[in-house]
Amino acid sequence: MASTLLISAGTFLVGPTAIVPGAAAESSPAAGKVYYVAPNGSDGAAGTQAAPWASIAHAQSVVGAGDTVYFRGGTYAYTHGINSCTSQTDRVDAITLGKSGSSGNPIHYVAYPGEKPVFDFSRMTDDCRIKGFDVTGSWIHLKGLEVTGVPQNNKLNHESWGIWISGSNNTFEQIDSHHHMGPGLFIQKGGGNAVLNSDSHDNYDLNSSSGAGENADGFGAHIPAGNPGNVFRGCRAWGNSDDGFDLISAYSSVTIENSWAWRNGYVPGTTTAAGNGSGFKAGGYGGDYDAGAVKHTVRTSVAFANRAAGFYANHHPLANDFFNNTGYGNHPDFNMLGVDSSGAAVGRGNLRNNLAYTGTLTSNMSGTSAASNSWNLGIPLSDAQFRSVSTSGWDAPRQADGALPALPHLRPATNSTLIDKGVDVGLPYSGQAPDLGAFEAS
Ligand SMILES: [Ca+2]
Ligand SMILES: [Ca+2]
Ligand SMILES: [Ca+2]
């Protein structure tokens, strides 16, 4: 199923072709030069596998469009930004990726196959807001990097950021962003960015001036108008103190698909309430009606055990599409609270083939377009409808190609009454019709 959905971005199709593990980039005639960086390298070296560089900053100064930089396994530790705080509310970057590739020839910064490069920002001492990776360029491809520990070193700001994006047509693939004092990955502007098979977890902004935990989302896109094509696919967000995925104040449409969100809204690793706690917060503009609202899409995704809603409209002024999602044990599973042009609360959402089970099922459905969902069809639900209802193991290692782990959890059991009860919404399915929920029985 994943392969049928890997459709849109030329960036995505070109990148992995050049860097399939075991297939050396230099063997591809379309590929550019290949360089190496290692924790024990030297920026005065040649940048070869035998004599690697030490820093991504130096690599960037040399590379051009179509080139590949391999990062060997180990820890790349940062203690201060490349610029200095001019005030306690200023911003510094640990790493700025400002050099762009080009269409069909992105710059690749990727893990050496089978190894895990870890960018550790936990020892940064800058007394202002910090961005771990500040991606201002376009046509850049990051793959297989672990990014962790961006701190807040004072209590005067809302958050720091693991990865901040303001460029376009970038690809973030198999990124593991965690334990930041702010969002794991945040798209501020730019279009055509693809976040693929990536994880963001255990982020907690303890020192936020707006309240501890209120801003550390797993993934966010908060983009101006004119920035279409941002997508999150195959991503997981768990244990973040605010929301799993957050599209508040986004004025260009965003798609989230094949993604999972669980146990957001708590101090990580505890049951202590922290920030907002939605799995998928699909829009909104601070609670007010906004004539610039756009439609987002959330589909084939799973939310469970979030402190608040699994799937939340967040006062969105128009109907987003929610297709083939599974909400399990959220509060509620689907909350379609919207706002009309007079500012009154109303249900907003187009919902098809969704499945809500345990927790509170729905709220604010009056005013939505909801059909062929489990609660509309009155299908009796029980644990026996599923191969498993376990809430453990969702953070298991990914498959070799980066795909989500193949788990039995919340998938239809053989002969489940969830099978073939949906309607065609343009997504792939097997059998006579789509099944209800995020997983199609094979
Ligand atoms: Ca919040
Ligand atoms: Ca949030
Ligand atoms: Ca089916």
Q: How far is the CA of 242 from the centre of ligand 1 (A)?
A: 5
The pLDDT, as a whole number, for residue 192 is: 98
Cβ distance 313 to 321 under 8 Å? no
**Is the confidence at residue 2, as pLDDT, over 50?**
no
Q: Verify whether residue 281 is a known catalytic residue.
A: yes
The rounded radius of gyration (Å) of the Cα atoms in the chain is: 21
Ligand that comes closest to the CA of residue 220: 2
Average pLDDT, the chain: 93
Q: How far is the CA of 89 from the centre of ligand 1 (A)?
A: 19
CA–CA distance, 299 with 322 (Å, rounded to integer): 6
pLDDT, average across residues 206-232: 98
* Among 380, 324, 370, CA closest to 350: 370
The pLDDT, as a whole number, for residue 442 is: 80
Domain spans in the chain, listed from the N-terminal domain onward: 2-277
Domain topology for 2-277: Pectate Lyase C-like (2.160.20)
* Among 234, 350, 339, CA closest to 291: 339
**Is the confidence at residue 355, as pLDDT, over 60?**
yes
Q: How far is the CA of 247 from the centre of ligand 1 (A)?
A: 12
**Is the confidence at residue 11, as pLDDT, over 60?**
no
